[in-house]
Amino acid sequence: MKKPIAFVPGRYYVSLSTSGTYCELNCPYCKGKYLSGMDDVTDPRMLRKVLELHYARGARGFLLSGGFNKEGYIMISEEHLNTVKEFKRLHDDVVISIHSGLMPKELLNKVWSAGVDFIDFEVPPSNKYLKYLKNLRRHSVSDYLEFVEEAIKYSRDFIVPHIVLHSVGSTINDELRVIRELGDLKLRLIVMLIEIRGPQGVDSSVFDVDRIREVLRYSKKFFTEVALGCMRPVAFKLKYDETVVREGLVDRLVNPRKNIILKYNLPVVRACCSIKKEYFRLFPVETKGQS
């Protein structure tokens, strides 16, 4: 059995919100609550201070995240990106990623020019998912696939697709279809997420694990590496993280429980699971199952 690598970002890979806790989409599963755990850098003048503060404390990775506007992309200013560009100029030992969303091509070009290393990009599993789970009624899966194709014109490593599995807004066939289309683009890594159900009362502790298992195995046909990312219900972690490890279903696993790390002696990288292997040297790496 090939052991997955555990990714435990902690203080070494910090999430920043360019909109504070504000989000125009107000999606059912989140309603902005995940933004509250990020550092607020709504004011671009604060961004530089926050970057320098965390860098001094040992952070070498930063995720630019935040609420999305009604068009489905991150609320970020040119001043934010200018600050990123200057910070990268002064520090050649940092990795910066972004939750871009479906931003316009002009903004995508500015993100690239600012020195952002890669985009963590959620590709929806279905149009129904976009309509009912993301409040994006005018968007389609095709729009997101086209964005991926646009991003890889800069570099094939410039974008890391994420796809939500086990959604009430999609079927397994929807998920397999999107994965196959992404696979045709020959990307190095795909990150799988497990839907965290919203406040509508759907039970988030009952999983069709065979459905998830099939999709993970299918993904391995198309990608060099498959990751199980940070967005998955606690109940899934408790019940099935060990299954994922034991069956070798993924190559990267984010924030597994300590007992899983110890039992399977998983190597640990203190970073975001989307980074390239060449960036591992920037972060603490533990190879004896410590946590």
* Residue ranges of the chain with per-residue pLDDT less than 50: 199-201, 289-291
CATH number of the domain enclosing 244: 3.20.20.70
Contacts made by residues 196-200, CB under 8 angstroms, sequence distance 24+ = 196/29, 196/30, 196/231, 196/232, 196/233, 197/29, 197/168, 197/233, 198/27, 198/28, 198/29, 198/30, 198/31, 198/133, 199/28, 199/31, 200/28
3-state secondary structure of 144: helix
For residue 111, count other CB atoms closer than 10 A to its CB. Answer: 22
- Token pair in block for residue 105: 């091509």
For residue 188, count other CB atoms closer than 10 A to its CB. Answer: 13
Closest CA to 121 of 92, 150, 94, 84: 150
- Looking at residue 124, the DSSP 8-state letter turns out to be P
Rounded to whole angstroms, the Cα distance separating 174 from 124 reads: 9
Domains: count for the chain: 1
Rounded to whole angstroms, the Cα distance separating 150 from 144 reads: 10
3-state secondary structure of 193: strand
Whether residue 212 lies inside any domain: the answer is yes
Confidence (pLDDT) at 31: 66
Radius of gyration of the chain (CA): 18
Cβ-based burial of 259 (10 A; exposed 0-12, middle 13-18, buried ≥19): exposed
Q: For the sheet containing 189-194, what is the strand order? A: 39-40, 13-17, 61-65, 95-98, 118-122, 159-165, 189-194, 225-228, 252-254, 5-7, 268-269, 285-286
Whether residue 291 lies inside any domain: the answer is no
Report CA torsion sign: 159, 165, 170, 174. positive
Q: How far is CA 276 from the centre of its chain?
A: 13
Summarize pLDDT for 19-32 with one digit per residue, the tens. Answer: 999 989 877 766 66
Rounded to whole angstroms, the Cα distance separating 138 from 71 reads: 9
Rounded to whole angstroms, the Cα distance separating 148 from 184 reads: 11
Q: Please report, as a single letter, which amino acid is at residue 111.
A: V
Summarize pLDDT for 87-127 with one digit per residue, the tens. Answer: 999 999 999 999 999 999 999 999 999 999 999 999 999 99
For residue 57, count other CB atoms closer than 10 A to its CB. Answer: 10
Rounded to whole angstroms, the Cα distance separating 182 from 149 reads: 9
Whether residue 196 lies inside any domain: the answer is yes
Q: Which phi and psi (to 5°) does residue 69 adopt?
A: -80, 180
Confidence (pLDDT) at 288: 66
- Range of 23's domain? 5-286
